[in-house]
Amino acid sequence: MDEITISCLFPEILAMIFSHLDVRDRGRAAQVCRRWRDAAYSRSVWRGVEARLHLRRANPSLFPSLVSRGIRKVQILSLRRSLSYVVQGMSNIVSLNLSGCYNLTDIGLSHAFTQDVPSLTELNLSLCKQITDSSLGRIAQYLKNLERLDLGGCCNITNTGLLLCAWGLLKLRYLNLRSCRHISDVGIGHLSGMSKNAAEGCLHLEHLCLQDCQKLTDLALKHVSKGLQRLKCLNLSFCCGISDGGMMYLAKMSSLKELNLRSCDNISDIGIAHLADGSATVSHLDVSFCDKVGDSALGHIAHGLFHLKSLSLGSCNISDEGLNRMVRSMHELTTLDIGQCYKITDKGLGLIADNLTQLTNIDLYGCTKITTAGLERIMQLPRLSVLNLGLWHRSSSR
């Protein structure tokens, strides 16, 4: 009987096997023989793969090879050639990641986008610090089907750039503006369709990151609540201009599921009360390092934010008494961060163990008043899989 080897398998079976390899090994498999190459170049093998490229020297076969394999997502690790090579070589590109390409300029981007690229839905320009509003004008003109745009760390973007986005990027669902220090309430008004400049706004936004945008005030939240009715996730961490008053606007947003207020120094128990009194059905809330948030806030959470699944209270001014006010109402809570809450003792851990039976993750980093006895209670939680102790020092129970 003839010997049966893997090479005898139908190409479809080989392609199925190759699809389970990591990206590098798929490329190596294609070099074994012609039969394997044909199977390895099947589009089913490369479905969903993101090519990671160093654009250093001319390679005429690179982009035809990517296109033949059906690869439509590209990450540029280093850019020493014109970006236009990518856009022209992959006319059906879906995702382009240029994060960290520090030498990318407005001129380079303008040369790349000279006509409509309707297939492109994701563009990551995070940490491309030479990019300015001029590039956003080009993007708004030619990339009208964009759904995800990451501008994190693009510190030269201003409100004018957001106005251009509000005019042209009407399908945008995800926008990251982290550390865009020039952005103010006016720019958020443009995005929200509140502008007097007749921009329609990015009203389909579902995820908006405004982390470390220091010029924002509660007026920005007013614009968001009125215009961005589909918003599900809002990151306001390190926005020190946001105060308790702004929470009244967010409380009206029934679509809002995730809210990050980490290190918002002007948020206190009163702000949490406003949030809990509204119609918001927030499931993930982060108020860690808000030192004005204390036990009263936990009482407000218990009476209004019933659907919380994740709650971060790291370094907040809470105690066992606050946990006692909250735990009996938080039946859906699966993740709890009380790290560096130095007032928490074994009594608080007992309350958690008795009531938060759905917990899978708990952070107790820096809780120096807990003992082995309290930890033993926590370890009895039936679903617990992640326990962070960090700076905890073992001591005997009394």
pLDDT of 194 reads: 92
Distance CA 238, CA 288 (A): 11
Mean pLDDT for 146-158 is 97
Asked whether residue 346 is domain-assigned, the answer is: yes
What does the pLDDT read at residue 1? 42
Rounded-to-integer distance, Cα 243 and Cα 216, Å: 10
User: Are residues 216 and 67 both part of a single domain?
Assistant: yes
Looking at residue 175, its amino acid is L
Q: Range with the lowest mean pLDDT among 6-20, 56-70, 276-290, 355-369?
A: 6-20
pLDDT of 240 reads 96
The CA distance from 76 to 215, in Å, is 32
- pLDDT, residue 15, reads 58
Show which of 194, 213, 231 is a domain's final residue: 231
Domain membership flag for residue 264:
no
Residue 239 lies in a domain: no
E strands, the chain, where? 50-55, 73-79, 95-97, 122-124, 148-150, 174-176, 207-209, 233-235, 258-260, 284-286, 310-312, 335-337, 361-363, 386-388
C-alpha–C-alpha distance, residues 256 and 1, integer Å: 67
The answer as to whether 236 is a domain residue is no
Cα 33 from Cα 19, distance rounded (Å): 17
Average of pLDDT values for 102-125?
Answer: 95
Q: What phi and psi, each to the nearest 5 degrees, are found at residue 65? A: -65, -45
Report the CATH number at residue 202.
3.80.10.10
204 pLDDT above the threshold of 70: yes
Residue 356, pLDDT above cutoff 50: yes
User: 20 pLDDT exceeds 70?
Assistant: no
Q: How far apart are CA 132 and CA 203, in angstroms?
A: 23
Q: What pLDDT is attached to residue 120?
A: 97
For residues 209 and 347, state if they share a domain. no
| pLDDT, mean of residues 335-343 | 97
Which among 231, 248, 268 is the end of a domain? 231
Statement to judge: residues 31 and 61 lie in one domain: no
| pLDDT per position as a tens digit, 292-313 | 999 999 999 999 998 999 999 9
**Could you give the number of structural domains in the chain?**
3
Residue 158 lies inside a defined structural domain of this protein: yes
Q: Is the pTM of this model over 0.85?
A: yes
By 3-state DSSP, what share of the chain in percent is helix, strand and coil, each rounded to 5?
35, 15, 50
| Whole-number pLDDT of residue 44 | 57
**Rounded to 5 degrees, what are φ and ψ at 328?**
-70, -15
Mean per-residue pLDDT for 205-225? Answer: 98
Round to whole Å and give the CA distance between 337 and 339. Answer: 6
Is the model's pLDDT at 190 over the cut of 70? yes
Task: Give the mean model confidence (pLDDT) for residues 204-208.
Answer: 98
With a pLDDT cut of 70, the percent of the chain lying above it is 86
> For 305-388, where are the alpha helices, taking DSSP H only?
320-326, 346-355, 372-378
Residues near 266 by beta carbon (within 8 Å), at least 6 away in sequence? 240, 241, 242, 243, 244, 292
Which structural domain, as residue segments, surrounds residue 11? Answer: 1-47
Q: How far apart are CA 308 and CA 311, in angstroms?
A: 7
C-alpha angle 294/362/330, rounded to 5°?
Answer: 60
- Mean of the per-residue pLDDT values for the chain? 89
Residue 139's Cα: distance from chain center in Å? 21
Closest CA to 148 of 164, 115, 126, 180: 126
Is 342 part of any domain? Answer: yes
Q: What pLDDT, in 10s, does the model give residues 220-275?
A: 999 999 999 999 999 999 999 999 999 999 999 999 999 999 999 999 999 999 99
d(C-alpha 152, C-alpha 126), whole Å: 4
